[in-house]
Amino acid sequence: MRRKFFWSLMAAATLALAVGGILAAAGTNRQARTAAVNELSRQAEVIGRQAEQAVDNARGRGTEALRNLLSEGTVRDLLVTASKIGGHDYVEIAAVRQGELVAPRDSDLVPALGLDGVEFRPATTREFEGEVDGQPVVVVARTIDTGTPVFTLVVLLGRESSVFAGLALVRAFLIGLGAAVIVVAALAGLLAKRLGDRLARVDAAAGRVAGGDFTARVEDDGDDEVSHLADSFNDMAERLAAASDRERDFLLNVGHDLRTPLTSISGYAETLADGTIGAGDLPKVAAVLQRQSRRLSRLVEDLMLLSRLEAREFTLVTEPVDLGAHVGGVAEEFRTRASDASVDLRIDIEPTGPVESDPVRISQVVTNLVENALRYAPEGGRVGVHVEAAPAETVIAVSDNGPGIDPEDLPRVFERLYVAQRYRAVRPEGSGLGLSIVHELVTAMGGAVAVSSEPGSGTTVTVRLPR
């Protein structure tokens, strides 16, 4: 990955530098060309003024002198003057007679650029481009009015456009590009190494977590994407560690809850096998064995149900259900049990009408909540079951006036066996999985469940199901 990152960064930087250099060279070339054309135009103006002076002198000597101007040394003198000025590669003077351009025999520009068919008007400056011997050339033509219809002079100055940017510019660009590539390579190497080292720490910590060491953390004090990755990894590791602790506690608690009834059943079974129990004690022993067997069976069934719920290996079979009547019927089944425990069971049901829901799962929710409330309600206490119909939801609330739950325990009440282990001294019976099952069932039905409690005053579990 480090190599890929390095070469990707190098390629991107080199491409950016190359594009920037090409654009800069193109801009510089345009500027150089404009400057060259302006300089050629200035020189053409100077030579033009000198030619106009020569024409005026010839005109003063008469028409014949004006006609012989081109054959005299005047034009040659102008060319020598222009050569001394410099700043161009070609300088020529041609004449326009009767609308036709007449060029010197050794002219390079006129035939190469095809200027013999161009119309030149007096006192104008024009620009042309073409090639001479395969080299691109820019030409400025200045037309000089001789004041006579016999002929007009045209001064042609040319310069090879390929040298506008110049070899120095190209050389400077190549040197700059090379230096930039070296600097970028060094920076890319350092950045790739630093990034690789940081990612290597994340990889090493991930390997430790995969091996079961949930204490592994990534030390990174930056403020970029890698740092955010490290923070996310550390948060994940903390969650995994917490989940591992909960799983370990769960297994220990389940082992304890399984061992208790098994120990009781095993002890009585050995006593029965020894024949040391009298006939009068047999009903008592049978009742204990039956109670412990039911407790063991309920624990196993709840474990299997919770496992299926958490794995989503169950289906909801919905149908129109009068939730108020259904919840009331389930709660009434506990009337005898509440009376035996000297607990006042109060059932308050508002009409809800038919609601699309799963009656079997609703029964499981209400059964777990009422059993929980009866388990923690004190002798002479009360348990309330209330159903309320709201426009968008149905609210089921089960309350008791038991010992309540400490505020610091409320965020964890839906964890498996948490409440049962924390408050085992208050009510040792039960699997400790009831609230976990309720939470999974209500969530699967698209609802929400919440617990409110005041230590010493009781607990209320509120279920909200969409209508």
Do residues 350 and 389 lie in contact, with contact meaning Cβ atoms separated by under 8 Å? yes
Q: Is residue 307 situated within a structural domain?
A: yes
Q: Is residue 107 situated within a structural domain?
A: yes
Q: Residue 341: how many CB atoms within 10 A of its CB?
A: 17
Q: Is residue 202 situated within a structural domain?
A: no
If asked whether residues 385 and 298 sit together in one domain, one would say no
Q: Is residue 191 situated within a structural domain?
A: no
**Residue 444, amino acid:** A
> Which token pair is 60?
């003063």
Higher pLDDT, 232 or 418: 232
In this predicted structure, the answer to whether residue 225 has a pLDDT above a threshold of 70 is yes
Residue 426 is predicted with a pLDDT of 47
Instruction: Give 61's contacts (C-beta < 8 A, 6+ positions apart).
Output: none
If asked whether residues 260 and 385 sit together in one domain, one would say no
If asked whether residues 226 and 293 sit together in one domain, one would say yes
Q: Is residue 194 situated within a structural domain?
A: no
pLDDT digits (tens, 9 = 90+) for 241-283: 877 776 776 666 666 566 767 777 888 788 888 777 777 778 8
If asked whether residues 15 and 150 sit together in one domain, one would say yes
Q: Is residue 201 situated within a structural domain?
A: no
Q: What is the pTM of this model?
A: 0.48
In this predicted structure, the answer to whether residue 421 has a pLDDT above a threshold of 90 is no
In this predicted structure, the answer to whether residue 435 has a pLDDT above a threshold of 80 is yes
Residue 78 and residue 72: Cα distance in Å, rounded? 11
Higher pLDDT, 374 or 211: 374
If asked whether residues 234 and 144 sit together in one domain, one would say no
If asked whether residues 241 and 360 sit together in one domain, one would say no
Do residues 338 and 323 lie in contact, with contact meaning Cβ atoms separated by under 8 Å? no
CATH code of the domain containing 386: 3.30.565.10
Q: At what angle do helices 359-376 and 434-444 cross, to 10 degrees?
A: 150
**Domain end marker among 134, 151, 168:** 168
In this predicted structure, the answer to whether residue 165 has a pLDDT above a threshold of 50 is no
Output the CA torsion 389→391→392→394 (10° steps): 0
Q: Mean pLDDT across the chain, nearest whole number?
A: 78
CATH code of the domain containing 251: 1.10.287.130
If asked whether residues 103 and 144 sit together in one domain, one would say yes
Model confidence at 425, in pLDDT bands (50, 70, 90)? very low
User: Once rounded to an integer, what is the mean pLDDT over residues 138-164?
Assistant: 76
Residue 105 is predicted with a pLDDT of 78
User: Once rounded to an integer, what is the mean pLDDT over residues 393-404?
Assistant: 93
If asked whether residues 91 and 47 sit together in one domain, one would say yes
Do residues 193 and 65 lie in contact, with contact meaning Cβ atoms separated by under 8 Å? no
Q: Which of the listed ranges 28-32, 123-127, 344-348, 371-375 does the model predict with the highest average pLDDT? A: 344-348
Give the domain range for residue 414.
Answer: 315-466
If asked whether residues 438 and 293 sit together in one domain, one would say no
**Domain end marker among 293, 312, 331:** 312
Residue 140 and residue 465: Cα distance in Å, rounded? 90
Number of domains in the chain: 3
CATH code of the domain containing 146: 3.30.450
pLDDT digits (tens, 9 = 90+) for 130-150: 888 888 888 888 887 776 666
Higher pLDDT, 176 or 24: 176
> Which token pair is 210?
């995969």
Q: Is residue 163 situated within a structural domain?
A: yes
Residue 450 is predicted with a pLDDT of 94
Residue 467 and residue 393: Cα distance in Å, rounded? 5
Instruction: Give 448's contacts (C-beta < 8 A, 6+ positions apart).
Output: 442, 463, 464
Model confidence at 452, in pLDDT bands (50, 70, 90)? very high
Rg (CA), the chain: 51
If asked whether residues 353 and 271 sit together in one domain, one would say no
If asked whether residues 332 and 304 sit together in one domain, one would say no
pLDDT digits (tens, 9 = 90+) for 69-85: 555 555 566 666 666 66
Place of tokens 């990889």: 203
The 3-state secondary structure of the chain, one letter per residue: CHHHHHHHHHHHHHHHHHHHHHHHHHHHHHHHHHHHHHHHHHHHHHHHHHHHHHHHHHHHHCHHHHHCCCCCHHHHHHHHHHHHHCCCCEEEEEEEECCEEECCCCCCHHHHHCHHHCCCCCCCEEEEEEEECCEEEEEEEEEECCCCCCCEEEEEEEEEHHHCCHHHHHHHHHHHHHHHHHHHHHHHHHHHHHHHHHHHHHHHHHHHHHCCCCCCCCCCCCCCHHHHHHHHHHHHHHHHHHHHHHHHHHHHHHHHHHHHHHHHHHHHHHHHHHCCCCHHHHHHHHHHHHHHHHHHHHHHHHHHHHHHHHCCCCCCCCEEEEHHHHHHHHHHCCHHHHHHCCCEEEEEECCCCEEEECHHHHHHHHHHHHHHHHHHCCCCCEEEEEEEECCCEEEEEEEECCCCCCHHHHHHCCCCCHHHHHCCCCCCCCCCCHHHHHHHHHHHCCCEEEEEEECCCEEEEEEEEEC
**Domain end marker among 287, 312, 337:** 312
Model confidence at 319, in pLDDT bands (50, 70, 90)? very high
If asked whether residues 20 and 159 sit together in one domain, one would say yes
Do residues 359 and 401 lie in contact, with contact meaning Cβ atoms separated by under 8 Å? no
Residue 366 and residue 330: Cα distance in Å, rounded? 7
In this predicted structure, the answer to whether residue 389 has a pLDDT above a threshold of 70 is yes
Q: Is residue 221 situated within a structural domain?
A: yes
